[in-house]
Amino acid sequence: MATIMPKKFIQKVFPSPEQVQNNQSLRFLSPLFSKSNLWHLNRRCVARAFLVGLFAAFLPLPFQMFIAAFIAFYANANLPISVGLVWISNPITIPPLFYGTYLLGAWMLDTPPTELEIELSLEWAMTELSNIWEPLFVGSLTTGITLGVASYFLIHLVWRMHVWDNWKKRKLRQTENNSPDQ
Alpha carbon separation from 46 to 8, 31, 52, 154, 167 (Å, rounded): 13, 20, 10, 11, 21
pLDDT in tens, 54-70: 999 999 988 999 999 99
Confidence at residue 48, expressed as pLDDT on a 0 to 100 scale: 94
pLDDT higher than 50, residue 1:
no
pLDDT tens digits along 147-158: 999 999 999 999
Mean pLDDT of 75-89: 91
Residues 127-145 have pLDDT tens digits of 877 788 899 999 999 999 9
Q: In this structure, are residues 109 and 138 in contact, taking their beta carbons and an 8 Å threshold?
A: yes
pLDDT tens digit sequence for 2-45: 444 566 666 676 666 666 667 776 666 666 666 667 777 888 99
Instruction: Evaluate whether 151 touches 51 at the Cβ level (below 8 Å).
Output: yes
- Confidence (pLDDT) at 31: 64
Name the band, by pLDDT with cuts 50, 70 and 90, for residue 114.
Answer: confident
DSSP string, the chain: -PPPPHHHHHHHHSPPHHHHHT-GGGGGGGGGGG-GGGG--SHHHHHHHHHHHHHHHT--SS-HHHHHHHHHHHHT--HHHHHHHGGGS-TTTHHHHHHHHHHHHHHHTT-PPPP-----SHHHHHHHHHHHHHHHHHHHHHHHHHHHHHHHHHHHHHHHHHHHHHHHHHHHHHHHHT-TT-
**Least confidently predicted of 83-92, 120-129, 144-153:** 120-129
